Structure formats: structure tokens, C-alpha cells
């Protein structure tokens, strides 16, 4: 096990009891989680709590793709770096260094975690609306690296909304984008369901036009996630 995985698991094991005390989490579909091999974990993104909620229910090390500006947040930036976090620009562009980090994740047979909505749902700041449009970067990672995708959703059962604790002027000083500085509320989970769907095979999306394949794979993932959000899963 490399140092990033050890750091991630150490942080997760420390944080998980506190998350468990604050949020009632029930996970479904865990039988769909493969125990080894490269994988892309995708999930809807309603709250800054999402990666912590998922990490509490997912048994493997996850290298999370996160917005580049989050790597400027004190404390978080250090934890993200040592735990294998990978920065990505909010416009979807990714540096050569980050591409190499992603390739290393797959070369090791590990899991890449990514939120296809980016921060757009939280920028919208209406937590009653459905998922926003997906960025197709995750589909490109899947097709170009020949990696299957595990569609996942977080379904809030009980939640509250509070003001963002960091004032807009401070967020601006930290270099956050204007739309992020203007976010007013954040979702705070009290009780959630985490639902893992069936793994999506990347192979049917390898032949033909890359542009069409990116769209078709993205649409398929969104369709599967929408079904999960609508309750199309088995409760044990």
C-alpha cells in the first residue's frame, strides 16, 4: 500500500466515527463494489459533505478529483494532497501533472472518485431541484483508460440548510471563483441513503466516434443515477 492510501485510510478511520455521530447513513447496493481493480466512482454532488459520506461507506481507497481552488483552503489542502487528491480546473481543463496522477491511480488498480456535476449544483443553491448537467471528463477518463464506472447517489432523508461559514470576501481572497463566492447556503445532512448501482462496462463505448461515445456514456451514467435517485434499487 502506498503512502497516499495509508494517509487516506488513516484520515477516514479518524473522521468516520464523527461523521457517524452526526449523520445517520444507510448504504445499499454495496454488493456492486468490486474489491480490487481500477474503477471510476461517480456520484451526485449536493454538499461539501459528500466525499466524507461516501468514504465512510466505501471500503477502498479513493483518489478524489477536486476543484483546483479547494487546494487553497487551509488544512484541507494539506489533507487532500497527502491523501491522493487530484486537482482539476472548474472549466474542465486538467493539467498534465493531474493527468499523470490519474493514470497512476489506474496503473495501481485503484479507484478514482469524481462528481460529474462539479460544483454547479451547489452554485445553483436550490436543493430541491434534480441533478444539473454533467461534465464529460469522467467519461473521457473511462474510455481513454478503459475503466468501468460505478454509478452512485446520495439521497437525503433529513437535512438542514445553513449559511456558508466562510464569508464571501474571504472566499474571494482565497482565490475561489465568483460563482462559488456567491453561494449562500449549504446542505447539512442528518440522515442519508448511499446507493451503489451496478457497474457500467466501458467496452461498448470504445468503437466509433469519441465525441459520440463520450456523450452516450455520460448519458448512460446519468440515466442509471437518475433511476437510483427515483428509488430503483433494492433495500435489503
Look at the alpha carbons of 213, 216, 222, 228 in this order and tell me if their dihedral is positive or negative. Answer: negative
The domain ranges of the chain are 3-230
CATH number belonging to the domain at 3-230, selected among 3.30.1490, 3.40.1130, 3.40.50, 1.20.1050: 3.40.1130
Average of per-residue pLDDT across 44-49? 97
In this predicted model, what pLDDT tens digit does every residue of 98-154 receive, in sequence order?
A: 899 999 999 999 999 999 999 999 999 999 999 999 999 999 999 999 999 999 999
Helix (H) or strand (E) holding 155: strand 149-163
| Exposure string for 118-135, b = 16+ CB within 10 A, e = fewer | bbbbbbebeeeeebbebb
Mean pLDDT of the chain: 93
Q: Note the pLDDT of residue 106.
A: 97
Q: Note the pLDDT of residue 88.
A: 85
Q: Note the pLDDT of residue 15.
A: 92
DSSP character at residue 203: G
Identify whether the C-beta of residue 119 lies closer than 8 Å to the C-beta of residue 67: yes
Cα 133 to Cα 179: distance, rounded to the nearest angstrom: 16
Whether the per-residue pLDDT at 217 is higher than 70: the answer is yes
In this predicted model, what pLDDT tens digit does every residue of 67-100 receive, in sequence order?
A: 888 888 877 777 888 888 998 887 766 788 889 9
Q: Note the pLDDT of residue 184.
A: 96
Whether the per-residue pLDDT at 4 is higher than 70: the answer is yes
Whether the per-residue pLDDT at 205 is higher than 80: the answer is yes
In this predicted model, what pLDDT tens digit does every residue of 144-198 receive, in sequence order?
A: 999 999 999 999 999 999 999 999 999 999 889 999 999 999 999 999 999 999 9
Whether the per-residue pLDDT at 1 is higher than 70: the answer is no
The reported pTM is: 0.94
Whether the per-residue pLDDT at 41 is higher than 80: the answer is yes
Amino acid at each position: 500500500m502506498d503512502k497516499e492510501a495509508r494517509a487516506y485510510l488513516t484520515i477516514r478511520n479518524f473522521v468516520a466515527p464523527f461523521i457517524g455521530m452526526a449523520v445517520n447513513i444507510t448504504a445499499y447496493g454495496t454488493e456492486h463494489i468490486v474489491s480490487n481493480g481500477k474503477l471510476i466512482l461517480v456520484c451526485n454532488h449536493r454538499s461539501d459533505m459528500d466525499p466524507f459520506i461516501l468514504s465512510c461507506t466505501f471500503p477502498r481507497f479513493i483518489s478524489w478529483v477536486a476543484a483546483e481552488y479547494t487546494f487553497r483552503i487551509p488544512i484541507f489542502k494539506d489533507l487532500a494532497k497527502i491523501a491522493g487528491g487530484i486537482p482539476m480546473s472548474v472549466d474542465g481543463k486538467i493539467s498534465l501533472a493531474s493527468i499523470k496522477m490519474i493514470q497512476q491511480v489506474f496503473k495501481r488498480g485503484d479507484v478514482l472518485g469524481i462528481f460529474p456535476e462539479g460544483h454547479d449544483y451547489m452554485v445553483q443553491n436550490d436543493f430541491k431541484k434534480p441533478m444539473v448537467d454533467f461534465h464529460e471528463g469522467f467519461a473521457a477518463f473511462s474510455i481513454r483508460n478503459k475503466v468501468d464506472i460505478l454509478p452512485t447517489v446520495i439521497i437525503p432523508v433529513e437535512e438542514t440548510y445553513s449559511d456558508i461559514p466562510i464569508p464571501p470576501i474571504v472566499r474571494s481572497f482565497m482565490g475561489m471563483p465568483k460563482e462559488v463566492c456567491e453561494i449562500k447556503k449549504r446542505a447539512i445532512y442528518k440522515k442519508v441513503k448511499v446507493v451503489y448501482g451496478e457497474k457500467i462496462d466501458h467496452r461498448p463505448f470504445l468503437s466509433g466516434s469519441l465525441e459520440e461515445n463520450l456523450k452516450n456514456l455520460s448519458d448512460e451514467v446519468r440515466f442509471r443515477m437518475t433511476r437510483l435517485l427515483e428509488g430503483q434499487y433494492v433495500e435489503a
